[in-house]
A and B are shown apart, each in its own frame.
Chain A
Amino acid sequence: MLPLSIGEELVGSWRKTRATAKLQERVTRLFEEARDDVYRYLLTLGLHPPQAQEATQEVFLRLYSALRKGEEIRTPRGWIFRVAHNLGVDIRARQDAELPYDPELDFRHAGQLANPEQQLAERESTLRFHRAVEGLSEQQRRCLFLRLEGLRYAEIAAALGISPSAVGEFLRRAIERLRRARHE
């Protein structure tokens, strides 16, 4: 141990405890705010609900450990989704043999039943739009979903391992495709 007087050690220990409590409070608040979004995002990657929930918790434990180590995280939401994305992809990669969870199945099923009072034409238009989103390429969907979670292009790029300009291009193509579906 480096030499410290007892007084310095006590003050240091008290500061550390206080800093730890504040950090825990901060990450807990972030967890409460973003956990449902992260969970749903992980479902879109094909994780089954129990896996998605466990991975979500894992992400916030990692956030805590990163912040505790003094890592500077300017945009926690971007960091959280980047880590969640990579973790989700890795979990899926280890389970190639297992059928991925398909949230669209639940969604399509619910879509057919929801809003019975909705105008038929409007419902059809909504369903067409949903189908168009589902029909986007993998990268377009990933960029779009991460953008929907509030990530900036650079953050999406970091999560997906592509350049920010590629993100812009994928998003443009996605929007073009959705535009065509909307006007069909």
Chain B
Amino acid sequence: MNSLELRHPESDLLLQFMDGELPQHQARQVRRHVEACWQCRAELDELQKLVAGCVRYREDRAEAVPPPPQTWTDLSREFNRLDDSPAAASLFRRTAFRWVLLGAGAASLVAATLALRVIDFRIGTQPAKPQEMRPAARTSQPASPASTIARPDGVLPSVPGRASAPVKAAAPPAGVAEELRAVAALHRLGADLGEPVEVARNGKYIVVGGAGVAPELQRQIRDALLSEPNVLLRFSESAAGPAAQPPQARDAAPLKSAAPAVPNPLEAQVGGRAQLEKLSTLLLDHDEAAMTRVYALRRLAEQFPPEAERQLSPEDQRLLKDMGRQHWDALAREAMAIDSLTSPLLAPLVAPPGAIRLATSWQAAAQNLFGSARQVEALLPAWLGVTVTDRDRPAPDDLPRQLSTALAQLQLDVQQCERLLKP
């Protein structure tokens, strides 16, 4: 018999004993003591009554607090939406890489990554309620600057001394040029990089909007489009008010992932697991930045195909290509960084990447670029051994060769796109 069995345990020990929190050997000692000691049994009983009081408190409070204001959302629909969304799928995967890579030690970076992305997961408790505003309507009378923004109900604010009836817009149908100017305004704000902002022509209006756009960005967009005629802003917001802010993800400190069952041969090449994790983080960051530009460039190409581009004035054509080139510049830098980090680790290709995909327009080149960038995006994590679902399986032997080929193809497509984007 040791001292713990002889003396009365302190109340914290008894509480931990009751809660099953003591290590096995200590719990055994306390149990033996309590079996023999009436005083401690009474103390345990007292603790039990206090716990029961807490449980009653919780129950009483549960009855008193207001029920949820809405009926609960059917989450299965939200799950399906997440499953169906390619962006979300990519997003899940990429976030997962970081979790695997960094573990709990780098929770803040993980949190930042999740915080940027969680906006895409958000759900509304009520159907989205679009707000419509016209930054500027072409009116028969020039309006004062203060009156150019229509109220959310679409009615222009009254101007002193004039009839307060809504002024009907008498604008011609919106054309490609107006659409381009709206896109250019968003581009200047950086709102064409991963932001859920859409631009579309709808009759005589250019509709700019999206769901879940941050209020500050909405304000900037509104200001930037003030001078553009026939632009209709349509942003959807959750009806839940302030909670509609994308929640930051301090939760993202998951349990550290277990080491992969199959050691990655790259570890030895780069000098250990820590080095590989650093390299992986760096490469995935570059790849993510590249993909942002690839998506933006493809979006621009789809929005302004060659036939639409031909309708533009020479000045607008230059504006369009300037935007394309800016995306290309950033993309080329990222592709170069990926290449310089991977080339020392990949054997040089003995054969060209494959059939040369000739494009006749920068739009077609942007599509090719999208294809090859996606290929790299898929192969890179597998090569680094950070694909969550596959990390316990050995990577195919020819993965390095596949990645080399994909990177070479990407470089070819980058060069071709550059040539076609030249003024």
Tell whether A and B belong to one assembly: yes
Q: Which residues of A contact B (CB under 8 A)?
A: 1-3, 20, 24, 27-28, 31, 35-36, 39-40, 43, 47-58, 60-62, 64-66, 68-72, 82-83, 86-87, 89-91, 94-95, 98, 103, 106-107, 109-111, 114, 126, 129-130, 133, 144-145, 147-148, 152-153, 158, 164, 168-169, 171-172, 175-176, 178-179, 182
Q: Is the CB of A82 within 8 A of B251?
A: yes
Contact A50 B69 (CB under 8 A): yes
| A140 vs chain B, min Cβ distance (A) | 11
Residues of A within 8 A of B399 (CB): 2
Contact A40 B62 (CB under 8 A): yes
B185 at the interface (CB under 8 A from A): no
Pairs across A and B, CB under 8 Å, 28 listed: A2-B396, A27-B75, A28-B76, A28-B79, A35-B72, A43-B65, A48-B243, A49-B68, A51-B240, A53-B125, A54-B243, A57-B72, A58-B123, A60-B75, A64-B82, A65-B95, A69-B92, A71-B96, A90-B247, A90-B249, A106-B65, A126-B56, A126-B60, A147-B19, A171-B15, A172-B15, A175-B50, A182-B49
Distance in Å: Cβ of A54 to nearest Cβ of chain B: 5
Whether B250 and A61, one on each chain, are in contact in the complex, defined by CB atoms closer than 8 angstroms, is no
- Decide yes or no whether B238 CB sits under 8 A from chain A: yes
What DSSP secondary structure best describes chain B's contact surface? Answer: helix
Shortest B384–chain A CB gap in Å is 14
Q: How large is the interface on B (under 10, 10 to 19, 20 to 34, 35 or more residues)?
A: 35 or more
Asked if B45 lies at the interface with its beta carbon under 8 angstroms from chain A, I say no
> Which residues of chain A have C-beta atoms less than 8 A from B194's C-beta?
none
Report the Cα distance A133→B99, complex, angstroms: 38
List the A residue with the shortest CB-CB distance to B243: A51
**Chain A residue contacts of B402, Cβ below 8 A:** 2
Closest CB in chain B relative to A156 CB, distance in Å: 11
Residues of A within 8 A of B56 (CB): 126, 129
Whether A61 contacts B75 by the Cβ 8 Å rule is yes
**Residues of chain B lying within 8 A (CB to CB) of residue A58:** 118, 121-123, 247
Give which listed residue, A87, A158, A168, A182, contacts B50 with CB less than 8 A.
A182
Q: Given A87-B251, A153-B21, A168-B21, is A49 in contact with B243 using a C-beta cutoff of 8 Å?
A: no
Q: How far is the CA of A130 from the CA of B125 in the complex (A)?
A: 33
Q: Which 10 A-B pairs have the closest CB atoms?
A: A51-B243, A110-B64, A83-B251, A86-B250, A69-B96, A172-B12, A86-B251, A107-B64, A53-B68, A50-B240
Q: Would you call B307 an interface residue if the criterion is a C-beta within 8 Å of the partner chain's C-beta atoms?
A: no
Rounded to whole Å, the gap between the CB of A129 and the closest CB of chain B is: 5
10 other A-B residue contacts (CB within 8 Å) besides A90-B249, A103-B64: A1-B378, A3-B396, A49-B66, A65-B95, A66-B254, A91-B247, A94-B242, A126-B56, A148-B55, A169-B12
Chain A residues near B123: list those with CB within 8 A.
54, 57-58, 61
Q: Is B83 an interface residue (CB 8 A)?
A: yes
Partner of B11, one of A87, A107, A175: A175
Residues of B within 8 A of A90 (CB): 247-250
A133 and B65 form a contact (CB under 8 A): no
Contacts of B63 in A (CB 8 A): 110, 114
Chain B residue contacts of A70, Cβ below 8 A: 96, 388-389
Q: Is the beta-carbon distance between B92 and A98 smaller than 8 angstroms?
A: no
Quick check: B121 and A61 within 8 Å, CB to CB? yes
- Which of A49, A61, A62: most chain B CB closer than 10 A? A61
Smallest distance from the beta carbon of B395 to chain A beta carbons, Å?
Answer: 9
How many angstroms from the CA of A7 to the CA of B12 in the assembled complex? 61
Q: Are A148 and B53 in contact, with the CB atoms below 8 A?
A: no
In the complex, chain B residues 6-34 whose Cβ is within 8 Å of any chain A Cβ: 11-12, 15-16, 19, 21
CB of B386, distance to nearest CB on chain A (Å)? 12
| Distance in Å: Cβ of A91 to nearest Cβ of chain B | 6
Instruction: Say which residue of A40, A51, A72, A98 sits within 8 Å of B255 (CB atoms).
Output: A72
Chain B 283-312 residues near chain A, CB threshold 8 A: none
Residue of B64, B66, B82, B122 contacting most chain A CB atoms (<10 Å): B64
Closest to B20 in A: A152
Asked if residues B12 and A68 are in contact (CB atoms below 8 Å), the reply is no
Given A61-B82, A107-B64, CB of A148 within 8 Å of CB of B75: no
Say whether B223 faces chain A, with CB atoms less than 8 Å apart: no
Interface centre among B11, B46, B62, B251 (most CB of A within 10 A): B251
In chain B between 44 and 87, which residues have their CB closer than 8 angstroms to a CB of chain A? Answer: 46-47, 49-51, 53-58, 60-66, 68-70, 72-73, 75-76, 78-80, 82-83
